[in-house]
Amino acid sequence: MKRVTCFITGTDTSVGKTVLTALLARCLHERGLKVAALKPICSGGRADARVLHAALNGALTLDEINPWHFRVSMAPVLAARREHKRVLRAGVVAHVRAIQERFAVVLVEGAGGLLSPLGENFNSRDFIVSLRATPMIVCPNRLGAVNQALLALEALPRDARRKARVVLVSTPKPDTAAKSNPGLLAEHFDGKRIFILPWLGGRFNPARGSGNLRVRRTLWELVSGL
C-alpha cells in the first residue's frame, strides 16, 4: 500500500466513527503497516481520543492524537469559543501533515457529521479537501440510511466523491430496511465501495473486534486499492 490518508466522517454524531477508526488502526498495524490514528478536534471530553490511543499501542501520545479538546459537549467551534479559543484550519492541517511524514497510513477522524463546524470557517469537508484524503462515510444501517449516505456523498467535491467509501454500521436490533439498504444504495453509488460492519456489542473493544474474521476481511477490503 502506498502512503495514504483517510478521513473518517459520518452522517451524524455517534454513528461509529471512532469504532471504525480504531478497528482500522489495529488491523493495519497487525498487517505490519506504520499507522497513525488522529482525532485532532473534540469537545465534551477525550473519550474517543483515548480509544484511538489504546488502539495504537503507544505509537502516538494522547496530545498528538488530539491536540484540540474542549470541555463542553457541543460543536467544537462553539466549545472552543466558550473557552476563549479559536481553532484555525491552517494549524490543524499543519499538525496532520507533520504526522503524515512519520507514518505510511494516517487515519483522521472528524467530529460530528461532514458539515459540522470544526473550527473557524471550516468543517470536515474542507479538511478532506486540504488533505486530499479518501473520505470514509460512516452511517448506521437502518431506515433512512440511503438518504443520509447519498446526502453526504452529494456534499463532497467531485474528486473526493469518486474515491469515497460508505460504511454501513449494523445496529443491535436491525430493522426491516437493514437488509435492503446496501442494494438500494448500490443503485446510486458504486457497490464495490459500500461496506457493512457488523454490530460489535455495547462495550467496544478494538482488540476483540479486530480479531473477528468477518470484521478483518471487511476492513482490509475497505482500504485495498487506496
**What is the number of other CB atoms lying within 10 angstroms of the CB of residue 62?**
16
Has 39 been annotated as catalytic? yes
Catalytic annotation, pick one of 39, 85, 163, 173: 39
- From the number of C-beta atoms within 10 Å of its C-beta (0-12, 13-18, 19+), residue 129 rates as middle
β-strand partners of 70: 43
Residues 6+ positions from 156 with CB-CB distance below 8 Å: 114, 125, 128, 135, 164
Residue 5 DSSP symbol: E
**Residue 40 near residue 76, CB atoms below 8 Å:** no
Beta strands at 134-140 and 68-70: parallel, antiparallel or unpaired = unpaired
Using CA atoms, how far apart are residues 12 and 3, in angstroms rounded to an integer? 28
Q: Helices (DSSP H) in 56-192: which residue ranges?
A: 62-65, 76-82, 89-100, 124-131, 145-155, 158-163, 181-186
Residue 69 DSSP symbol: E
Give catalytic residues, as residue numbers: 39
